[in-house]
Structure formats: C-alpha cells, structure tokens
Structure 1
Amino acid sequence: MLLPLSAVIITVNQEKKIAKTIEALKTLTDDIVVVDSGSKDATRTVAAALGARVFERPWPGYSEQKNFGNDQAKYDWILSVDDDEVVSDELAKSIRAAFASEPKTDAFNLPFRTVFAGKLIRFGGWNPEAHIRIFNKKNIHWNTDAVHEGLTIRPEHSVQKLSGYVYHYTVDTLEQFAQKTDRYSTLFAEKGIKAGKKANFIKIYLSPAFRFLVEYVVKLGFLDGYYGWFIAKENARYTYLKYKKLGEG
C-alpha cells in the first residue's frame, strides 16, 4: 500500500548508498524527491533510474535545501531521510499503520540505529536515538540553523513515536568520522562567533572529559569494543574543538 506521503532526500556524492535508501522508500510512496547539491558521481543517475524526481541545486545550507525539497513534494505529509539512511521493514509497517486513516497527530518520531564503519552500534551516546522525520509541511518546516537543522515543533504540536528503526549507514572509515568532527566543529564555532559567543575553561577542557565519561562508561559505550571507544573519544574531541575554535571570553 502506497501512502499519501512524499519522501524527501538531500544528496551529494552518495552513489553507493542512495539505491538502498530509495528502494526502501518505494514500498511506502510513489513520490520520492531528491535534491542534489552538485554530486560528482552517479548519484543523480542512480536516483532517477529508481524513479525519484531529481532536482539539482547549489548548496544553500541544510534547512533551506530540505525546505526546497518539501516545496517540490506532491503530498503535504513529508518523510525526510538522508542519503545514507534506510527505513527498516518494521518501521515501514508502523508507518503504514499510522496512515491507515488520516493521522491525528502533527508529526512522528522515528527511532534510529547507527551502522558505523560497518558495525551496528548498540550502546554509547547515540543510543537510544530518535528524530522527528515525518510531519505535515503545512504546519512544520525546517529551521535556519546552519549546523544542526531542526524542525519548527511548537508546544501545541502532538508527536507520536513509531516502532522499528531508521538505519543510519554513517561513515565507512574512521578517517571520515574524524574529518566530520573537524568540519562540524568549525561550523559550530562560526555560528557562535557570529552570535558574539565565547567559551570558558569549563566548556573547553571539562566538558569534553565529561562527555567521554558519560558516553563510554555511563552509557556503556565500552560494550561496543574499539568502535565504542573511538566514537566516545571523537565526540569528546568534537566538544573540545568546537569550544576551542569559538575562543575563550
């Protein structure tokens, strides 16, 4: 059963993963919108061959790109996924049940699991993880945050949690994750500097240590072995870098 629901994906250079993302979505909807920001590989070709409506657009930022995709969608209800995320069969079943009749809620919260360099991560700071990814574009849209885009959920909006998972097939190598740490910490600092913010000693030096302790020990990241240690260490390094780049007041 296909639903009155449009899937919107923003893409760049993801020819190896985008097919799996789209194939899972095709079991739910006949409207898959891909907004590509200048891929140098075959991402757009693969997406179009699988039936997606593909738009090429220069990169303006996460929120603006996603909102553009929503504007192209045929339906008011949007399922927003990234180009390295796959809806599980269990989640697809839960979505179908939620749309068996007109939804009485404003948005749906979807549980996530991360596959990191080929390993399913079960513990640590990324678990449990859930994000609101299904919403009605008439009432909700993406904000303008340059670093971590979010939806304009208001207190009066009702949100229902579904069962199953979106599997996030994140970086393929540890080096890629370290590069993301450097990139996102710079984006955070640039945003803070524009807002006139500064960091202090606690933020720069104690917050990273606290984050590592929580993710690796309290949230049992050590049970994921070497990968659990690496993720906790790298998330702590991100915390250090973003405040160090922001600068002490």
Structure 2
Amino acid sequence: MIIQAVAHRGYPKKYAENTLSSFLKAVELGFSHLELDVHLSKDGIPVVIHDHTLDRMTNGTGRVVDYTASELQSFRVKQDEHIPTLEEVLRALKGKIQLNIELKQMGDYYPELEKRVLEVIEAFDMLDQVVITSFDFDALERIRQLSRDVRIGLITFGGSKAILDWSLEMGATFLSMHYAFVTEHYIQRCQDLGIQLMAWTINESSVMKQFQEYPSVWICTDELEGFMDVLEMSGSI
C-alpha cells in the first residue's frame, strides 16, 4: 500500500525528527515521499538536521557549521539517536521512498552546500529519487547551474505569477507552498504548467479532508497515522 503524501522530517510525532528511525518508520507505513533538511558541517559534509543550531534537538550547543561531521555525530538526538549524514540517509533509503531534500541555505551561509549535496546524490545514482528544494532562490539557481537533470523546487508561503515564471525559467517542476495560501486557481495553473504542488504542513484532519478534493496536490504532514485515518474514513485505503 502506497500513501501518496510527504512525511515531514520522517515521523516526528513518534520519533526524533530527521533521524534514521524516523525516516524508516515513514517507509514502513508506506508513504510515497519523505522531506528532510540538510546543512553543511565544518569539514564540508552534508548532514541532516533542521535547525542551524544544535540546541533544540540535541545535547549539544552552538551552530552546526562550527563542528565537523564526526563531532556532530557524537551528540545525541533524544538520547539514543545521532545526527545522520546525507550519505547515511541515502544509503538507508535508496529504492525505498522518494526524497524531498531541503537545503537550509541562506545566501552563501554554507559555501559549496549545493555542490556537496549534489555530489552525494550522484554518487548514489539517485537523481531519479530526489527533488532538491529551498526557500533560497540563489541556492536553487546554483543547483541548476551544476545539473540540468536534478529536479528542483521552491518553498514559499504564498503563490504568485512571478514564482511560476521563475520555475519555468529554471526548469523547476516542484513547488512547496504553505497550505493556507493554496487556491484552486493556483492548483490549476500548476497542473497546466506541469509543476507538482505540495501543501505544507497539514496536521489537522479537517484540513486534510479539504485537500482530498484536490488529489493532484501532495500533502506534507507530521501526522502520518492521522493522515492514514482520514484516508481510511474516506475509503481511499
């Protein structure tokens, strides 16, 4: 059984976000897609964690960029997990689930983040299994300069014609938008242009039910089993 939805940072309601356990649980539940976040360590290794700092999710403190990958992996996430490298994640998930890799870039905060992430993806021969996304236009433009083949997509709050124009110019076939700003008109425009629209992050069952009227839109959620319950009640699974 395939659940056509995006598991946000894995399954953060029951497992530590952005950890191998969290990702593998999403796979076990049958979700079609998984979203994760990537930073760059001091020694230039792509690592998977959401925040630019360690304080919220680990027993460490300070900025991710100030530690080597080895040092980062010595910190504990919820006591029994570690910060995985992107290489670890791809090795564990290759052939199992589609990946939405969000670059946590801010201007040039992480020099070579785009290059290093793409190198790992290509090393695992997984261009067909990933889409690279970011709030940062420049980061995605750098990715496109490095590769015409990898799928890319903006993350936005609201939508506009300018975003669609940019997407067409960059060959971006994915768009991640805050669910509150998704309109029926924009859904149709994305369909017409061949852009996959994803609504983030939907955790309320009432909103999940509303979006069932638009099956072309992927739902991104923390509530994996809650979403499955909504599908079951509607007879979709």
TM-score > 0.5, shorter chain as reference: no
TM-score bracket for this pair, using the shorter chain length: under 0.3
Q: Relative contact order (alpha carbons < 8 A, sep ≥ 6): 1 or 2 greater? A: 1
TM-score calculated relative to the size of structure 1: 0.27
Q: Which has the larger radius of gyration?
A: 1
